[in-house]
Amino acid sequence: MSHSLAELEARIGYTFREQALLQRAMMHTSYANEQMGGRDGSNERLEFLGDSVLSLVVCKYLYHTYPDLPEGRLTVLRKNVVCQRALAEYATAIDLGSHLLLGRGEEKDGRTKPKILEDAFEALLGAMYLDAGDIDRISRFVVPFVKAELAKMQAELTPFEDYKTLLQQQVQQMPGEELRYELIGEEGPDNAKIFTVRVLINSNEFGRGVGSSKKEAEQNAAKEAFERYLPR
């Protein structure tokens, strides 16, 4: 075992019984292609497994931590704490990039690329699960990252006046999700109208807002939606 991997084990608080699993988790496809003539030795299969392990750990944590939240809001929270940005930050926190085996084409900036770091973090989880055979052991490693990410999201709630921007930033981290505002009510004379707007993510309503202008109503709807993302 290299000194580099021993450092990584110390950082994650876990010593592998089967060192080959950790070595494979650090092997990017670019390295496997150059050194082994194909992708078979890369971390792709471990990444596939780690993605499911991560999802189970996070879903279990959210399910038990927020017993009153409906499925839709739990899904939003899960997507935020396992998005590419978040996983890349988790990987950076343990300096995972410095331990990667990369091909020549990726050596320049591959150790800081979010996609490579995301994949390597998931591969590491897959390797840990195979080696430990215990999902609770993976939870002890992952949950502190999840708690910190949720706390950071909570901290962004206040003070913050432009909730439309903040909500948009959150939704942008979830590929395939569509955010839109819909005018559902308009009352009063022309010089004193009151507007009611709802905000939807895909087809699900996440908040409503009322205001003396459409812009104010949208801002209030976004505030309610964003606060409902995160349970207090």
Q: Which of 89, 118, 119, 122 is catalytic?
A: 122
Helix runs in the chain, H state only: 3-12, 19-25, 29-36, 44-65, 71-81, 84-93, 114-132, 135-155, 163-172, 214-229
Q: What is the DSSP-derived secondary structure letter of residue 28?
A: -
* Listed residue (68, 40, 44, 229) closest to 149, CA to CA: 229
Which pairing describes strands 194-201 and 179-187: parallel, antiparallel, or unpaired? antiparallel
Return phi, psi of residue 69, to 5°.
-80, 135
Task: Count CB neighbours of 128 within 10 A.
Answer: 24
Do residues 142 and 122 lie in contact, with contact meaning Cβ atoms separated by under 8 Å?
A: no
For residues 64 and 16, give the distance between their C-alpha atoms in angstroms, rounded to a whole number: 29
Give 105-122 as a 3 state SS string: HHCCCHHHCHHHHHHHHH
Active site residue 51: yes
**Cβ contacts of residue 65 below 8 Å, gap of 6+?**
none
Q: Provide the β-strand partners of residue 211.
A: 195
Q: Which of 51, 106, 118, 218 is catalytic?
A: 51
- What is the set of active-site residues? 51, 122
